[in-house]
Every structure is written in C-alpha cells, then in structure tokens.
Amino acid sequence: MLYTTQSLVVVALTVAASLLFMWILNRIWPWNKRHAHNDLIGWQLSILGTTYAVMLGFMLYTVWTDFGAAEQNTDNEANCLINVYRLSAGLPEEARGQMQMLARYYANTVLNKDWPDMAADFPPTASEKINQDMWRTLMSIKTASPNELLAEDHTISELSDMTEHRRIRVLQSAFRLPTVLWCVLIIGGAVTIASASMFGSANTVLHALQVFAFSLLVALVLVAVADIDRPFQGSVHVRDLAFRRALDSMRN
C-alpha cells in the first residue's frame, strides 16, 4: 500500500540510487576499461532484462486482475443487497419492515465502518452482525401465502449470494503478495539496473539518460504493483460507489 507522496518518493530514491551507483562505478572502474567487455555485458543484460520484464509483466497483470475481481465482487455484493431490499416487499409486514431497515443499515455500516477499517488494514467486521440479523429475521418468517413463500425463497437466495460476496471481500482485503515475490522483484530490479550501468560508453550523458529512463520505468512498475496489490488501501483502491448507489436506491 502506497499513497501518492510515498510513491513519488520511492520512484525518486530509486532513480537517484541508480544514477549514484553509475557515478561511483565510473569513478572506480572507468568506462574506457569497461568498453572491452560490452559484448559480454550486453549479452547478460539481454537475458536479465527479458527475464525481469516477464516477471514484472506477470506480477502487474496478476495484481490488476485481482483488483478487477475485488471491484466486481463489491458491485455484486451491493447488487445483492438491493435485491434483498426489493424482494423484502413481498414478505409479511413485520419481516418486510425489519429486513428493509437492516438492508439500509447494512449499506450505511459498510460505507461508514467497513471501508475505513479496510483502508486502515483492519478486518471489516462491523457488517457481519447485521448480516447475521438479516438471516435470523428471514429464517423466523412464518409465511401465510404462496406469494410470500416465493418472495422468501428468492430473498434467501440473494442474501446467500450477498453473504458469499462479503466473505470474499474480507479475504480480498487481507490478501498480500508473498514476501518471497517482493524479494524477487526488488533484487531482480537492482541486478538489472546494475547491469545496465556497467556498459562502457564514451558518451557519459547519454548513458546516464539511459540508466535514468530504465530505472524510472522499473520503479514506476514496482510502485504500481505495490499499490494495486492491496485493492482497498492506498491511493488506487476500490471505491465504495456501488454501496452509495445502493443506499440512494433504497432511500428513493
């Protein structure tokens, strides 16, 4: 999880460290002495760069896919909540009012409790009790007509789906890329940038620009992976718009 300022700092430090490494290397091992090894360095960099690019692309694709899945699951949970609210109109009068009140309360709790808790990296437990109350209310209904029985059956189905989507949201808010993968990405980036800095070039300015661009790209991708890895935290996160719309729909 990274916020915008933190992301900019990480990118700036990565680029600065890469250029500093290149400057120190030029002082210790001048470019004219490295020039004879450019063929070997280029061959190694080609393999390292290709391997690392595949890893970066795969990680970025993975976290973005997970982010999209979290967003879709949130929309599904909100849609199920609206369906529960609307289907409750067919329940007996006492259960109807109770279920609709709980549905509105659930949306408010998700917005005001769950989302701040997930943003702060805490388990979103506030809506769990309301979900249980909805189940208790629904299971205590004594149906009096076929229409009420049909409404109850469909409400149970929607509430079951909503409960499942809520469990998935809780799991998604706690998921992290394993530490070993972060070690691979960070160490791989450092080794690849170091290899690019080892070229022996007579044009130091051009070489520095190449190292700058390469390190900037690597840092940006790593920052993107770090931010998207936690879909409910950081500057790029799943918004609560679906539940806001659901609450507006129930109020209207």
pLDDT of residue 129: 93
pLDDT of residue 176: 84
* 43-94 confidence digits (pLDDT tens): 677 777 788 888 888 899 999 999 999 999 999 999 999 999 999 998 888 8
The mean pLDDT value for 178-186 works out to 88
pLDDT of residue 2: 62
Give me the domain span that covers residue 181.
4-251
Residue given tokens 């933190």 in the structure block: 6
* 6-33 confidence digits (pLDDT tens): 888 888 998 898 888 888 877 787 766 7
Phi, psi (deg, nearest 5) at residue 127: -80, -10
Rounded to whole angstroms, the Cα distance separating 150 from 108 reads 28
CA trace torsion 91, 95, 100, 102 (10° rounding): -140
Rounded to whole angstroms, the Cα distance separating 175 from 121 reads 11
* CB-side neighbour CA atoms (13 Å) of 33: 6
Q: 34: pLDDT confidence band, cut at 50, 70 and 90?
A: low
Structure token pair of residue 86 = 């609307």
Q: 210: pLDDT confidence band, cut at 50, 70 and 90?
A: confident
pLDDT of residue 11: 87
| Contacts for 49-55: CB closer than 8 Å, 24+ residues apart | 49/192, 49/195, 49/196, 51/188, 52/188, 52/189, 52/191, 52/192, 55/184, 55/185, 55/188
Q: What is the total residue count of the chain?
A: 252
pLDDT of residue 41: 64
Q: Is the pLDDT of residue 1 over 80?
A: no
Nearest to 214 by CA among 14, 69, 4, 35: 14
Contact at 8 Å (CB) between 200 and 38? yes
pLDDT of residue 18: 86
pLDDT of residue 202: 66
pLDDT of residue 88: 92
Range picked from 82-86, 150-154, 184-188, 232-236 for highest mean pLDDT: 82-86
The mean pLDDT value for 160-168 works out to 95
Structure token pair of residue 189 = 């980036």
Give the rounded percent of residues in the chain with a pLDDT score beyond 70: 92
| Tally of structural domains, the chain | 1
Give the rounded percent of residues in the chain with a pLDDT score beyond 90: 36
